[in-house]
Amino acid sequence: LDPINASTSGTICLCDPIPISHYSYQYLFNLFLSPQQQSMLPNFRLIFTLLGLISVIRSSFSFIIHNTSISTTTSTSTSTTSRSMSSSTFSACELSSHPSALPGDPSLNLVTNIDLGDKKLDFMKACSKAIQEATGKPESYIAVTVSDNASVIFGGSDDPTALGNLYSIGAISMESNGAIHNSISDLLEPYGVDASRMYINFFDMERANVGWNRKTFAG
């Protein structure tokens, strides 16, 4: 600080580069030059003041550039993360991953002699949801096909009935199989199909025996 020109509080505002430069260089002039010598060098005082101002502006500019760079990097990172998390039937990550790392099907084939009418699509979606809940598999991998108004008999009778096959890579167990049969029985009950008149066969598939995306789930 300039012992001659500093304020009584001893505080100098860092936001004001010209007074700081002026005080600093004025102190050097007073320290090394006599008043007579100082009067002979007025231009040097101006030059030193301008150099101080340029230094402060340069530092401020560097700070702005640095912050802009950080902001741009953060924005790019956030955008990339958002794209990677966007939902679709199969994400780019899933499509590019090795098939052996993916969960695979299940798929349900159901045949019944009842007429589902315009409720067929809703019925199929409900079956898909029931399979997802019972197996824990992502619904994006679950496939369902239903053939209604088919020629099917059970116990020698053509009373309302249904036959199904469910295939899955894993997630085949007594608990999950029973849960699926129970859920589909509930869905068919309003159409007159008794739970005792429906078989669903469950097949635990090897990855090499399930094809998907131009290859198998084994690779």
- H runs (alpha helix) in 33-119: 35-39, 42-85, 92-96
Q: Tell me: pLDDT of 188 over 90.
A: yes
Instruction: Yes or no: say if 114 and 191 are a contact pair by the CB < 8 Å rule.
Output: yes
What confidence category does residue 103 fall into, taking pLDDT thresholds of 50, 70 and 90? confident
From the list 19, 106, 160, 190, the catalytic residue is: 106
Q: What is the mean pLDDT of residues 88-115?
A: 78
Q: Tell me: pLDDT of 34 over 90.
A: no
pLDDT digits (tens, 9 = 90+) for 112-158: 999 999 999 999 999 999 999 999 999 999 999 999 999 999 999 99
Q: What is the mean pLDDT of residues 56-84?
A: 50
| C-alpha dihedral (143, 147, 151, 154), degrees to nearest 10 | 50
Residue 71's pLDDT is 47
Residue 28's pLDDT is 57
Instruction: Yes or no: say if 213 and 95 are a contact pair by the CB < 8 Å rule.
Output: yes
Q: Which sign, positive or negative, has the C-alpha torsion 34, 38, 44, 50?
A: positive
Residue 33's pLDDT is 61
Q: Is residue 106 annotated as part of the catalytic site, yes or no?
A: yes
The span from the CA of 104 to the CA of 218, in Å, is 10
